[in-house]
Chain A
């Protein structure tokens, strides 16, 4: 420890107490766990107030995935307080650490790991403070219900001891976590803290915020990418009831009114008054996969294993296609902006308050320090939808109407036609089997656009594209392995001696695209696990046994065995007519949660309609914090992925996006969701948390496709497996 840091430490309140647990030199070189490595101050994560109540600060956002509840459990457990005494403050540039985006199933791994360790360390500091006050060894003291208690019955509340926690105190390496066997809160299905308000009409979303003096705005977007405003006579709209202002900056057009309905009516009128030139033409949807395959791409070899083994005796190859898809949030994007003097506050359901602030600062040419972005929940986003763009709109409109909160919500057709879609993708696989039915060679390529065009820069906010000096999107870059973007999960976990995997990154984006739940993992796992089914058939092997034969990771084998067992996997057992069974497995990103899925489907040979009858899913998320939270995420992920796989496909013409509403972009409804989806958890107490929120997306798609192939006795390799496509295949 340097002299400076020692002096600084002793200058702060409670320094004497703190000094007892100073780490040695060797320990300080260890990396702090989770996001503590980027925000080491304990007070950045945990604060104890004078009453002994706990506030947890996370840079991650509640997106409906239940993170607020799981983080509450971590702090309550390690600090020995009731969950009701824990408040969680989520992503807010004015209060929380910069944890980037709430994405990639990282929240438990990064923020959860930081919070569980910070909580444990704060508890140990409180115990040391109590030991000093009571003149007893720390080891003789225990904690419960927010108090430190001595064997003689004396006790001190956390509130009395909180002064010992210096705000500058940094976390130190070392494991202070409780023995998982002693857990009372972690590992329990604590009910979600946000659900009661959501079912009773409480103010739960940014859409529900009503600030004093708030006004309502609506945007009039160009009819297509790159269209510019030629003519506008806004006089009539300006005279409409309640209209406060028509905002026009270049081709950026919006209206602000006192009331929301007035803004909607004025928006429609203004849209009718605006004349636009044609934007850039979109590619022919009929040949989109040829277009994608032909676009210039950069080949990145992400795996190249070569071994001297005998060549295979039998080869198999296949090509798989997935269309553009939509996040399809039920609530269109919304944000509120308030410009007071030279300071701007934006309430937003962005996944990344800090990156969004950076983009807004660039858009408005303001210093970041003058902008505060506060996350407030929105409708589920499942990735980069219109949230950041709406925040950009709110910022621009707050500047146009200073000193009044400006709430802007997009209309359905705006969300549908302007959100960044998940890219259409092409994969090609070929493999060789030896005489024993083992895969000896595996060649795989994936062609894709970028899977993240998130802010950062002003060019990542669509409002900027229409300004008098249009902002330019940053050049897209691939997300590198091991997480990957288009090539996420492109490397199978199976043991194959010769394996080459190439990611073909396509910079040019025919449609606006970005991150959607699972990124490329959805398509790669669909492809790889469909291909495994095809290979198993070629080898004459059972689907489950064939996977296990090529897999050595014991945790992967465990989920596969458990899903098969609970499903009652028996390929020889007869099924009802036109029913089929399918299986798939993946470990998300090859480094997060393991998931194996077994499903039974039926295929109606007349209509082509596929129904999922039942599914059993086995999941290993490392140490389980909230079992029901994981089940909810996996069940939801299964149903959502079923919808992507069976019905979803973006529609457009060369002039415009035509999936303008739910009629043009159908998703699964109640009558077609499965009869049952059962999730089976493998708990790994004491092992690291493994991100789970996206783990079901890929295996679900492949398990369904494999079951469809089993039922229909034919393989459809282009998604979605819609009635139209299935019917065509069945009658071919």
Chain B
């Protein structure tokens, strides 16, 4: 019984201990180190699929190293915006400018599904993330250190099939991190995880973002996740940015604090305003 309990928690981090470690980490590092992230300027971005105009003119500036969350109802265009930023789709009109010349390795995406190669061991899955630098001599060492960073160093030789859902998503995170990207786009990366694993993954995301200083763009349908992680929350409605909210709560943030709850409540109210029937959500 004791063993079973410990096993369960090791996957989803015991909350108390993690929180203390987290606070110590922030205290030790003090203010955030100079950001390596890229800034992002989007002007009048539009995207249509046939007659259906999904994005109707997005104007947005994200400063380097900021953690931005994008929330909205399903079908509002938030994932489309993320795919455009990540270069997975081309816009119908408008522009996205990264401030300086961005290489392919500078912008990485993490999806809801881990998308690991089932026939490659964990370490070679992470090596995939190196892109064109895969052939370099230190490729393996870099992949290993990325795995250690997400706490899966000892799983390097496993097949993805034997990992839990949370562990697979951590491998996917290591793969996205290994090229040291300057913009990391998350498309509901925690959507398929259970509540405990989700919280430990949120901590991990916040930590790597803090350590590596990339610009983070997180698409999520979970408003509490958005306010817990982001510096700024964008609410998208009908293909435009309806609200742009600064989350001015110091880190590390305590989950379930009154401040976060109040902010979450007001954003949810904004989201609900569009409809007469609140039970729709």
Is B a genuine binding partner of A? no
B residues at A contact (CB < 8 Å): none
